[in-house]
Amino acid sequence: MARGDLSDEEWAIIGELLPSERGRKARPSHDNRRFLYGMLFVLHAGCPWRDMHEGYGKWNQSA
């Protein structure tokens, strides 16, 4: 687990507050946890979305 990542116990609480990961026909589902980490990275680093680390997914699909 990287610094700043949520534990499984913390994620169990927060994950219930987010929309389901079920995809729609035109838009497949994605991992809410990965997107949340991407948003936290951008907020912490103070960088633009385009500079988000690739490990969090494509910048234009995470915003």
Render pLDDT for 5-55 as a digit per residue (tens, 0 to 9): 888 899 889 888 887 766 665 555 568 888 888 888 889 889 998 888 888
* Count of domains forming the chain: 1
Cβ neighbour number for residue 6 with a 10 Å cutoff: 16
End-to-end CA distance of the chain: 23
Scanning 1-63, the segments in alpha helix (DSSP H) are 8-15, 32-45, 59-62
Q: What CA–CA distance (Å, rounded) separates 59 from 2?
A: 20
Q: In this structure, is residue 14 part of a structural domain?
A: no
Residue 58: the pLDDT is: 77
- Examine residue 45 and state whether it is found in any structural domain, yes or no: yes
State the pTM of this model.
0.67
Instruction: Please indicate, yes or no, if residue 56 is contained in any of the structural domains.
Output: yes
Q: Does a structural domain hold residue 8?
A: no
Res. 63: pLDDT tops 90: no
Residue 17 lies in a domain: no
pLDDT bucket at 2, cuts 50 / 70 / 90: low
Task: Tell me, yes or no, whether 58 lies in a domain.
Answer: yes
Specify if 6 maps to a domain. no
Q: Does residue 16 sit within a domain?
A: no
Domain extent at residue 51: 30-63
